[in-house]
Amino acid sequence: MNTIYILWLRQLKRYFRSRSRILGSLGQPLLYLVAMGFGFGPIFQKAGAGNYIQFLVPGIIAMSILFTALFSGVEIIWDKQFGFLKETLVAPVPRFEIMIGRTLGGATVSTLQGVIVLVVSTFIGFKISSLSMLSVVLLFMFLIAVLFAALGTVIASLLDDMQEFQLIMNFLVMPLFFLSGALFPLSGLPTALSAVASIDLLSYGVDGLRGSLLGISHFGLHIDLLVLTITTLILFTIGSYLFSKIKI
């Protein structure tokens, strides 16, 4: 057993032990799916855009991964406040390894969350267009998860207490979600909104999922993959740097 593994394992244990967290993080995607999916479905259909549930599911999967992953990164603030972070920081291990273990743990949990939402969606009528793409679907889920777990680490390294958490939710997470094309198609948008959507990293995640699950993609799967990989590496590097500078 090594450092990365034990930190990864800790994230998993914490997740599975908190039943309220699992239920909470499943409840929200389901609410969106049912309320929006069935609510807007008829209009979407009339506009000739096809089945809204089909369109919405990849967006909601991306959303649930975004929330869980970002939260797992931001959890560092909790560890700071409840003191456990000190225990890891005085240990004779490179902080880089701590960061990798934590991030991979958070990403694993979030990917799992995405898979659960996908499975549940099939019960309300979602159809995967090609099963052979499932490994690509998983890859995209994992990339989104690592990306936002790393972003969470960056944020947590910069903030000191949980009060600022609400601020992050309102000014970062919600815009990331609403502007990403999770809920609406990116083609034919007003220029300004379209520009914003194309700098929203979640857009590429949603697009990648939609591309691999349904075979329709706005940017193209290669672009999605490229953008997500590069930004994940960048954020991961920034995150490890900031994490290595954390002082108690």
Partner 1 sequence: MENNIIEVKNLTKKFKDLTAVDNISFNVKKGEIFAFLGPNGAGKSTTIKILTTLLPPTNGEIEIDGANPVTQQDKVRHSFGIVFQDPSLDDELTAYENLEFHGVLYKVPNPIRKQRIEELLRFVELWDRRNNLVKVFSGGMKRRLEIARGLLHHPKIFFLDEPTLGLDPQTRNHIWNYISNLNKKENITVFFTTHYMEEADKVAQKVAIIDHGKIIAQGNPAELKAQTKTKTLEEAFLALTGEKIRDEDAGSQDFLRQGRRMWHR
Please report, as ranges, the residues that interact with partner 1 according to CB under 8 A: 1-3, 5-6, 10, 13-14, 17-18, 82-84, 86-93, 247-248
Q: Please, what is the minimum distance in Å from the beta carbon of residue 9 to partner 1? A: 9
Cα within 13 Å of Cα(163), Cβ side:
1
Q: Please, what is the minimum distance in Å from the beta carbon of residue 7 to partner 1? A: 8
Query: Are 197 and 189 spatial neighbours (Cβ–Cβ below 8 Å)?
Result: yes
- The length of the chain in residues reads 248
| Residue matched to tokens 């259909």 | 45
**How many Å apart are CA 32 and CA 209, to the nearest integer?**
17
Output b/e per residue, 100-111; b: 16+ Cβ within 10 A.
bbbbbbbbbbbb
Cβ proximity to partner 1: between 18 and 130 the closer is 18
Cβ proximity to partner 1: between 79 and 164 the closer is 79
Q: Please, what is the minimum distance in Å from the beta carbon of residue 134 to partner 1? A: 32
Local structure of 200: helix, strand or coil: coil
33 CB-near residues (< 8 Å, 6+ apart): 53, 56, 57, 60, 121, 124
Cβ proximity to partner 1: between 105 and 205 the closer is 105
Q: Please, what is the minimum distance in Å from the beta carbon of residue 71 to partner 1? A: 14
Q: Please, what is the minimum distance in Å from the beta carbon of residue 65 to partner 1? A: 22
| Residue matched to tokens 């889920």 | 141
Cβ proximity to partner 1: between 61 and 98 the closer is 98
Cβ proximity to partner 1: between 84 and 171 the closer is 84
CA nearest to 211, candidates 67, 55, 106, 19: 55
Q: Please, what is the minimum distance in Å from the beta carbon of residue 148 to partner 1? A: 22
Cβ proximity to partner 1: between 80 and 210 the closer is 80
Structure-block tokens of residue 135: 């490994």
